[in-house]
Chains A and B, each alone.
Chain A
Amino acid sequence: NAGVTQTPKFRILKIGQSMTLQCAQDMNHNYMYWYRQDPGMGLKLIYYSVGAGITDKGEVPNGYNVSRSTTEDFPLRLELAAPSQTSVYFCASSYAQGAKNIQYFGAGTRLSVL
């Protein structure tokens, strides 16, 4: 059972470059999320989706874009990479709301912008 799969695991970008972080889940979860984790800090929500075709901003959405064309996939796009976007990015998914909302996380993508 793969769960939540993130690719790539590591990436180095130059300032101004763009890239897409991929996230796929095979658990048929409706909800999907993107977080970033800066060194020594907790996770902060970038964007989330409650189903295919529906996305919404989280706490720190500036500089990022998302789309959700299928239930399984939730890619995160960085258009003009900046050093402030150096972080570890986590994708997560969940099935239900409230206390039954157990979010399952991917292994993360470590991104450095130089």
Chain B
Amino acid sequence: AQTVTQSQPEMSVQEAETVTLSCTYDTSENNYYLFWYKQPPSRQMILVIRQEAYKQQNATENRFSVNFQKAAKSFSLKISDSQLGDTAMYFCAFMKHDAGNMLTFGGGTRLMVKP
């Protein structure tokens, strides 16, 4: 079974600064996918960014980028130029290549962006 660990229960950052959220995972699979989801106070989960394990290039989406270290089984999320609207819970998630699209989530990191 896969496990996903987010070791930072809470973090805070000043508006316009950069913050990095950590995620590690444990798997014996070689083909898999990794995701970061955002859950704002409205509770609705929103996909932030995704990474295919076979791709060495780190994914980027505007102010969001990842540092994917496959050998270390690490998948951190960097948020640049933090905005007040980035305040939310962030969940790292893992999916095996042939798992019927089943996601395994980490416990989450609560991020507070301060003005």
Task: Give the B-binding residues of A (Cβ under 8 A).
Answer: 31, 33, 40-45, 48, 50, 56, 58-59, 88, 90, 92, 94, 97-99, 101-103, 105-108
Contact = CB atoms under 8 A, between A and B. Distances in A.
Interface of B: 4, 9, 33, 42-47, 50, 52, 91, 93, 95, 97, 100-108
Contacts of B91: 42-43
B107 A107 contact: no
B105 A108 contact: no
B113 to A, nearest CB: 20
A105 B100 contact: no
A94 B101 contact: yes
Majority SS of interface residues in chain B?
A: loop
A96 B30 CA distance: 20
A99 B50 contact: yes
Contacts of A41: 107-108
Contact of A43 (B44, B46, B105): B105
A88 B43 contact: yes
Given A40-B108, A94-B101, A103-B101, 19 more contacts: A31-B101, A40-B9, A40-B107, A42-B4, A42-B93, A43-B45, A45-B104, A50-B100, A58-B102, A88-B43, A92-B45, A99-B50, A99-B52, A102-B47, A102-B50, A103-B45, A103-B47, A103-B103, A105-B45
6 contacts: A31-B101, A33-B103, A48-B101, A50-B100, A56-B100, A58-B102
Nearest to A43: B105
A11 to B, nearest CB: 15
B33 A42 contact: no
A43 B92 CA distance: 10
